[in-house]
Amino acid sequence: MRRRAMLEGCAAAVTVPFLAACGLLEGDAQAVDELAFDPDDFTTRKKTVATFERDKKVTYRFYDNVVYVAKPVDKTYQSLNVSVPVEIEGRSVDASRAPILFSNSVGGYLSSAAKSDEPDGGAKRNRDLALAAGYVVVEPGVRGRDLVAPDGTNYGVAAAAIVDLKAAVRYLRHNSGRVPGNTDRIVATGISAGGALSALLAASADNRMYDRYLVELGAADASDAVFAAAPYCPITDLEHADMAYEWNWGANPLRSGELDATVSHDLSTAFPDYQAALELQGGDGFGLITAANYGNYLVRTYLEPAATKYLHALPDADRSSYLAANTWITWSGDRAEFTWPNFLAHVGERKKGVPAFDAFDLSSAENNLFGSGTVKARHFTLFSLRKATGDPGAVLDSDLPEKISMMNPMFFLRQRNPARAKHWWIRLGTKDTEASLTIVGNLAASLANLGDQVDASMYWDAGHASNEDAADFVAWIGKVTGYTA
């Protein structure tokens, strides 16, 4: 199948790798592989990483801003950094077969360049710990929704970011053996919009919908499948995110203004049909997850375990005062118990208005994400499009349905994409009201129902973009990849 598509792509593709792959170039064509990684083009750097046990001194090779496509639209973003540990605590390490942490820095679906040493919290912590554990770290830059060409064309709107991530993975695999690390053990990670993109990359692996965009960029012809994914608070399933949000946080107040209760109600009442269509089973004999039992499902699967872990870790006096201030939690001595409505009241204010994602005034990040050409922002749900225009027969622009699917990991999981990653680490703070908790609930349940290995949990009382168990994540990478440095 891949070969046939490649041949079809040949008419449009003028890059050397494609011509070579099509058999249109002779012998020495390989010598001018524009996408060959140069293993010798690095600088040596040192850093000290604070690990759980002690500070570790790491010496590593740093490959700076390596362009990963033959025909970049914008090199600033379509390039990646590679960090390869060579010495840890005075001991030489050989990372040539180490897992590769593929960590994007996307936030808000904005562009992100492959800059090094950005102070970006949870993602940086994972990268530093991974390096100190002897893994290779790749930081891909990607185009984002904010990029506008001088002629007014938006060139980073959907599906540019995911196409770029796929091109970067293809580049690594194309350079297998030249680029340090095991390209069959890539672990994709990111936070929020970056988390969404890491989940999408892993779920949509090798799907043909992206091929024409990859050909246009002169991306390497190789698989873009990754071994594992670690999305943190993924802002995803965007076309269902408004109904899910109102189902979850619909009764929670908004600090900065009034909420339209009718709109909230209309959206939340659309959620049960969507949830039913997913036909997801909860673990431990829970049975079918429905809108009616989803609160209980979240309490039992994520929220009580998160509260329990949190309370266990507190010193006795702090636990007592927490429980005294939160009498809605029953602490049996080793387990926290509570109801869904009490949990919602505890979380309090919601972060977003209504609709949370497809804003009537086209002001959201996601409206901009689904912009096109010189149009900065568009509606991507019929609900908001029709409400905002007052036209009950309005339909989305014809290019949108495909682009919306291309941005949604759930679309590929519902197709049971066999090339998807089979190992998942999924995290979310219980006080993160940037999206519905069901977004993570459904992502994790979809994967578990497909038989994948899923380590999904929530951080109690934690907000957006939290990462509270970075050391566990790095140990998990070692476990699922079977690698020890």
Minimum distance from residue 201 beta carbon to ligand DHB (Å):
15
Of 400 and 439, the one with the shorter C-beta distance to ligand DHB is 439
Of 221 and 434, CB closest to ligand DHB: 434
Residues that bind ligand DHB (CB under 6 A): 107-109, 192-193, 235, 365-366, 434
The residue among 85 and 122 lying less far from ligand DHB, judged by its C-beta, is 122
Which residues have CB under 8 Å from 105's CB, separation 6+?
A: 112, 115, 118, 120, 123, 139, 190, 194
Whether 467 and 437 have beta carbons less than 8 Å apart is answered as no
- Which residues have a Cβ under 8 Å from the Cβ of 298 and sit 6 or more positions away? 340, 437, 438, 441
CB of residue 238 vs ligand DHB: minimum separation in angstroms? 8
Minimum CB separation of residue 249 from ligand DHB in Å reads 12
Q: Which is nearer to ligand DHB, 9 or 355 (CB)?
A: 355
Of the pair 17, 194, the CB lying nearest ligand DHB is at 194
The residue whose Cβ lies closest to ligand DHB is 192
The answer to whether 278 and 244 have CB atoms below 8 angstroms apart is no
Residue closer to ligand DHB (CB basis): 109 or 411:
109
- As measured in angstroms, the least distance from the Cβ of 294 to ligand DHB is 21
Cβ at position 193, least distance to ligand DHB in Å: 3
Whole-number minimum distance, CB 244 to ligand DHB, in Å? 13
Closer to ligand DHB by Cβ: residue 85 or 353: 353
CB of 191 to ligand DHB, least distance (A): 7
| Cβ proximity to ligand DHB, 112 vs 417, nearer residue | 112
Nearer to ligand DHB, 107 or 141 (CB): 107
Phi then psi for 368, rounded to 5 degrees?
Answer: -70, -40
In whole angstroms, the minimum distance from the beta carbon of 36 to ligand DHB comes to 34
Tell me the closest approach of the beta carbon of residue 225 to ligand DHB, in angstroms: 24
| CB of 88 or CB of 365, closer to ligand DHB | 365
| Count of CA atoms in the C-beta half-sphere (13 A) of 285 | 0
What are the Cα distances from residue 413, in Å, to 159, 230, 319, 422?
Answer: 18, 16, 40, 11
* Nearest approach, Cβ of residue 224 and ligand DHB (Å): 22
